[in-house]
Structure 1
Amino acid sequence: MGSEKEEILIMLKYFYRFLIDLTNNLYISSIVRAYTTSKISKRLIPSFIKVFKINESEIEKNINDYKSLHDFFIRTLKKDARQIDEDSTTVISPVDGFVEDLGTITEEKNILVKGQLFSIRKMLGNDQAFEKYIDGVFMIIYLSPKDYHRIHSPVSGQVISQWDLGGKSYPVNKWGLKYGKSPLSENYRKISEIECNGVHVVLAKVGALFINSVTLTHENEFLEKGEEIGYFSFGSTVILLFEKDSFKANGNIKNKSIKMGQKIGVLVQNLLNNMIE
C-alpha cells in the first residue's frame, strides 16, 4: 500500500511538472500577458475581488478607474492603509504575504520547505555573496493573488548590488513548492543586496507562473525603510537573507499572514547602537 502511494505521488509530481513545462513558455506567457493587460480583462475585476475577498476600502482608486486586471493587480493603496514601524532598530515586512518559512542558513547551502530542499547558494547565483550569509537567517514570504503586490524596502540603507537570474517560473504556492522543480532557486528572480549600518540584507524577488515580471520603481541607490521599490506581476515570493548574528526575528510570525510595514524583527547592530547612545 505504501509503495503504491509513493508511486502515485511520483506520477503526480512528474505530471505536474509536465503541465507547467507545457504551458510555461514564451508564447503562452505572451497570450496571458496580452489578455490580462487588455481592456477586456477589466470585466474580471469585480469577480476577482469577490473570489479573493479583497478589502476594497484600502484601495487608492475607484474600481472603475482600473484599465485592466493587471492594472488592478499592481494597485496602490491609500496612504494610511499600511503603518510603517518607525523604530530605527526594526526590520519590516517588504510585502503583504504569508511567512512560509523562517530558519537558519546552514553551510550545506540548502533549506527544507514543504519537504523539498532548495539551494540558497543557487538562488543567489553568487558564491562570494552567499558566504556572508552562512549561519544567518532566511525568511520566505509568499504572496497570494489577493495580496497587495507592491514591494517596499525592509530597512533603510544603500543598494550595493543588484542582479537578475533564472528563466522559466514554476508556481510558488504550496503545490508549486511541493511538486515544482525547485522554484525558489530556479525561477526568474531579481536580487538586491542592501547595506544598513554595515549589515548586509538580501531581498530576493522571485517570479511565479506565466509572467516573470518584477518591475523596479525606485530611482535612488539609498532606500528609506518602507519606501516602494517595485512590484510583482501575477504571483510572487520574497526571500530575505540576513548575516550571522545580525538579525533577531519575531518569534510569532512563522506560518502567519503579515502586512507590509509590520515589524518582523530587529537588526542587532542597530539595537546595540541605540543602547550605546
Structure 2
Amino acid sequence: MAKSLLRLMTELSSRKWISQLTGKFAHSSASRHLIPRFAKIYGISIEDAEKELHEYRTLNQFFTRRLKPGLRPIDPNPDTLVSPVDALITGIGPIENGLLLNVKGQDYTIEELLNQSPYTQKYKHGTYFVLYLSPTDYHRIHTPIAGNLVESEHVPGKVYPVNDFGLHHMKRVLSRNERLITYIRHHFGEVVVVKVGAMNVSSIQYVNPLPKSLEKGQDLAYFEFGSTVVLLTENGTFTPRSDLALGSTVKMGEALGTIHPKA
C-alpha cells in the first residue's frame, strides 16, 4: 500500500513544470545560501571544486561545478572507452537482440531508448552501461572516446526519479524520461551517450559551442541535478573490463574496457 501511494505521488510530481520551478529557484541568487548545507548533507568533497564555496552565486552553479585540474586523469590508451561520468553502475551487460535485460528488474528495448532512431540496428548486439549520478557526484559529462559527433537528439519526456526506487517501481523510466542522445563515431565504430533527465532536473545542457570533433575526456554536457547516463557500444566493437559489475563505482576518465575492430 505504501509503495503504491508513493508511486502515485511520484507520478503526480513528475510533471516538467515542477522541475522547472525547482530549476528556477536553483538558478536564483537566493539559492546560494543553501550551498554549504547542501554540500554537508550530501558529503560533497568541496576541496575538489574548482572554486571556493563563496564564489558560486547560485546552487546551480555549484551543482554544475568543474573540478580542479588533474583530479580526473583520462586513461591515455586510444583504444579504451572511458567512463563519461562519476557514477554507480546500476546496469551492465550485453545487449541481447536489442534488449537491455533486467535493469533493476525491467527490460528496455533499444528502439524505445533511442526514440526509434534509424541507428538502432548498430546497437542490437552491443554492450550497455547504466551509470547513476547521485547528488553527491560531480555532474559534468565528458566524451568517452575520441571521435566525431554524428548526431544529437533531444527527446522530450517525463522527469521521474532515476534512483533505486524510480528504476524498480516506476514503469520504464529510462525510456519515458527526457533524454539527450549523442552519437559519436570513433576509429572502430560508434558509441551513443544517452543522458536521462530526472526529477528536479531543470535541464540537460550541452557545452556551447559543441564541437564536431571530440577528444576523449572533453567536456560534453552537464546535468542540473542528479541523473543517469546510458552508454551503448556498437555491435562487436567493445570488450568490457572483467572486474566491473553491478554496484561498481567508476570515475570520469576511468577505463571501462577496450574498443576494437568489429568481430
Query: Is the aligned partner of 1:208 residue 2:183?
Result: no
User: 2:110·2:124 contact (CA, 8 Å) conserved in 1?
Assistant: no
Q: Which residue of 2 aligns with 1:263?
A: 255
AA of the residue aligned to 2:109: S
Return the offset for 1:43: 1.4
Match among 37, 53, 75 for residue 27 of structure 2: 37
Q: Which amino acid aligns with 1:252?
A: D
Output the CA distance in 2 between the equivalents of 1:216 and 1:22.
28
* Cα shift at 1:129: 1.2
Amino acid at match of 1:256: S
Give TM-score, length-normalised by structure 2: 0.94
Distance 1:30 1:162 in 2: 23
Identify if the C-alpha distance between structure 1 residues 153 and 178 changes in structure 2 by more than 3 Å, giving closer, same or farther. same
Displacement of 1:198 in angstroms is: 4.0
Aligned to 2:152: 162
State the alpha-carbon separation in 2 of the partners of residues 206 and 26 from structure 1: 14
Give the corresponding residue for 1:71. Answer: 61
Residue equivalent to 1:248: 239
Q: Quick check: which one's helix share is greater? A: 1
Q: Which residue of structure 1 lines up, in the alignment, with residue 40 of structure 2?
A: 50
The Cα offsets for residues 170-220 of structure 1, whole Å up to 9 and x where unpaired, read as: 110101101112111110001011110140101111100132511001521
SS of 2:123's equivalent in the other structure is coil
For structure 2, the 5+ residue unaligned runs are none
User: Within 5 A, what are the aligned runs for 1:138-217?
Assistant: 138-217=128-207
Counting aligned pairs with the same residue, the percent is 36
Moved over 6 A (4+): none
SS in 2 for 1:231: strand
For the Cα contact (< 8 Å) 1:137–1:241, is it kept in 2? yes
Match of 1:269, SS state, is: coil
Q: Residue 140 of structure 1: CA displacement?
A: 0.6
The CA distance in 2 between the partners of 1:203 and 1:27, in whole Å, is: 26
Structure 1 partner of 2:217: 226
Residue 268 of structure 1 aligns to which amino acid in structure 2? H
Contact kept, 8 Å, 1:109 with 1:121, in 2: the verdict is no
CA distance in 2, matches of 1:219, 1:203: 14
> Cα RMSD (Å) of the superposition?
1.8
Q: Is the 8 A contact 1:171 1:235 kept in 2?
A: no
Alignment pair present for 1:126 and 2:112: no
Larger Cα Rg: Structure 1 or Structure 2? 1
Aligned CA distance change for structure 1 residues 88 and 250 (closer, same or farther; 3 Å): same
1:60 aligns with 2:44: no
Alpha-carbon distance change, 65 to 267 in structure 1, aligned in 2, over 3 angstroms = same
CA contact 1:25–1:210 (8 Å) conserved in 2 = no
Do structure 1's residue 97 and structure 2's residue 87 form an aligned pair?
A: yes
Contact 2:20 2:202 in 1 (8 A): no
Partner SS for 1:85? coil
Q: Aligned letter for 1:180?
A: M
- Which one-letter code corresponds to 2:173 in the other structure? P
* Deviation readout 1:214-264 (Å, 9 max, x if unpaired): 100152111000000110111210111112220011122222111101111
Q: Decide which moves more: 22-31 or 127-136.
A: 22-31
2:260 partner letter: V
Normalising to structure 1: TM-score of the pair?
A: 0.89
| Cα distance in 2 for residues equivalent to 1:212 and 1:110 | 27
Report the Cα distance in structure 2 between the residues aligned to 1:190 and 1:27, rounded to whole angstroms.
18
